[in-house]
């Protein structure tokens, strides 16, 4: 299953994930609230782009989290 789909499910609140990385936990919570306030495809796309940009920027410290999210 693709990582994008997992991110989408996290943002929609369909999946739960707790990381040891506080920044990732805060990002997920914020994006969930943002999407819950405006459940449109455009908003979901914006949230997904932000999530992917974060993961790409911090990929060196996100390896374990990415693997765990893929397993969800």
In the block, residue with structure tokens 């949230």: 47
pLDDT at residue 66 tops 70: yes
Provide the residue ranges of all domains of the chain, joining segments of one domain with +.
3-71
Per-residue model confidence as pLDDT tens digits over 13-64? 999 999 999 999 999 999 999 999 999 999 999 999 999 999 999 999 999 9
Distance of alpha carbon 12 from the chain centroid: 9
Measured CA to CA, the distance from residue 62 to residue 68 in angstroms comes to 10
Confidence (pLDDT) at 1 = 56
Confidence (pLDDT) at 54 = 97
Instruction: Of 8, 10, 19, 4, give the one whose Cα is nearest residue 62.
Output: 19
pTM: 0.92
């Amino acid at each position: 299953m693709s990582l994008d789909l997992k991110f989408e499910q996290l943002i929609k609140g369909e999946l739960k994930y707790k990381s040891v990385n506080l920044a990732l936990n805060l990002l997920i919570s914020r994006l969930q609230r943002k999407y819950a306030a405006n459940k449109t495809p455009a908003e979901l796309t914006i949230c997904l782009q932000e999530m992917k940009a974060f993961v790409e920027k911090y990929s060196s410290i996100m390896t374990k989290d990415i693997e765990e999210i893929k397993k969800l």
